[in-house]
Each structure stands twice: as C-alpha cells, then as structure tokens.
Amino acid sequence: MATSTALWSFALVVGLLTLTPGLDTALILRTSALGRRRRSWGVVLGIQTGTLLWGALTSLGVTALLTASHVAYVTLRWVGAAYLVWMGARMLWDTFRGNSAEAEPASLTGPDTLGSGWRLGALTNLLNPKMGAFYVAVLPQFIPAGTGHFTMGLLLTGVHILLGLVWAAVLVGFARVVHGWRRTPRARRLLDRVTGTVIAGFGIRLALSD
C-alpha cells in the first residue's frame, strides 16, 4: 500500500468516525452553546491531544498491552465509565435544582480558558479505552510495509486530528448561531438534560460493553 493511498484510505475511515455523533460532539456543542469560546476550543484541543497520545502509543506498540491485558482494559473501562456517568448525572441533577437556570452545572463549570477546557477534553478522551482499542485494531492496517512504523503512525494520527479540528470548527460555529436561544432557562435545561443523558448513556454503554 502506497503512502498516499494509505493516507486517503485512513482519512475516509476516521472521517466517517469523526462525523458520527458521539461524546466528543456533545461536549463541544454544549460548551460552545454557553458562549465560552476559549473553553470550547480548549475542549477541542484536549480531545485532539488525547487522540495524538493514543496514536503515538499505538505506533510504539504500547497500547497493544492494553488490549492484551484483560485486567488493564477492564480497569480503564470502569474508571472511564464511572467518570462519564458521574459527569452526566451531575448535569442532570443540576437541571432539577431550584437555581439551575442561573447557575452553571457543576460537572462542567470552570473559567472560560483554554486550560480548563483542555483538561476536560483530554481526560474524557484518555479515559475511553475504546479509543485505544480502535487504534490498535485499525492503525497498523494502514501503515505500508517498508515505512517507519512510528513516523507513519504519527502521520496517520495527524490526519485524524486535522479532520477532527475541521469538524470541531463547524460544531463551534453552529453552537454560536444558537447561542441566543440557549440563554432562555427552558432551553438551557433542555440542552443540559439532553447532554447529560448522552454523556451518562455513553458511560453506561462503556461499562456494559465487552
């Protein structure tokens, strides 16, 4: 497989993965809809940092240990699931509090800074063992014979990150359009309940998955 063919083929696979609505999409949309531009881009950069780390570790062969060790995978899976369920449950709980219309949900509070958003995005991505399993299963198949495994792995990961950044820009722009609607208490509670349910649902799904 030529390098250019591998890049385009991998771009198609991860492009479809990127466009599929999921946890990353929910986090970016919800943070952006609050009007927190710096924090929302921090979330985006945190998610992509996690992707870069998963890709680098896979290229080095480290993540193969994760999928080979049942104990390591199950431990990370339960930690990630507990974190997601906690975050989603806190969002849902805050929407039923008397001051939920005026106060930020405690699970996603923080200053409008790149750093606070980056921590949220990176932690969410790195606690998802399915990202590691995906890279272990898919990335090696797109590395042509005779190429540097680590260098080519990082190049392919860079394609994934680039597509993720482009899609994130679309999501942030869309969220800015509906920012005015988001200011109403009713709309705010609705969006928080939907986002909280999605996040908690991903956590439960992760806990129950094989």
Q: How many whole angstroms separate alpha carbon 122 and alpha carbon 175?
A: 21
- Could you tell me the two tokens for 133? 């399993």
How much of the chain exceeds pLDDT 90, in percent? 23
pTM of structure:
0.77
- Does residue 187 surpass a pLDDT of 70? no
- Could you tell me the two tokens for 160? 């994934």
Confidence of residue 32 (pLDDT cuts 50, 70, 90): confident
- Does residue 156 surpass a pLDDT of 60? yes
* Position with higher pLDDT, 53 vs 65: 53
* Position with higher pLDDT, 161 vs 86: 161
3-state secondary structure 102-163: CCCCHHHCCCCCHHHHHHHHHHHHHCCHHHHHHHHHHHHHHCCCCCCHHHHHHHHHHHHHHH
pLDDT digits (tens, 9 = 90+) for 90-130: 777 777 775 444 444 444 455 678 888 999 999 989 888 77
Q: How many independent structural domains does the chain possess? A: 1
Amino acid at 48: Q
Tell me the residue range of the domain where 98 lies. 3-208
Q: How many whole angstroms separate alpha carbon 164 and alpha carbon 172?
A: 12
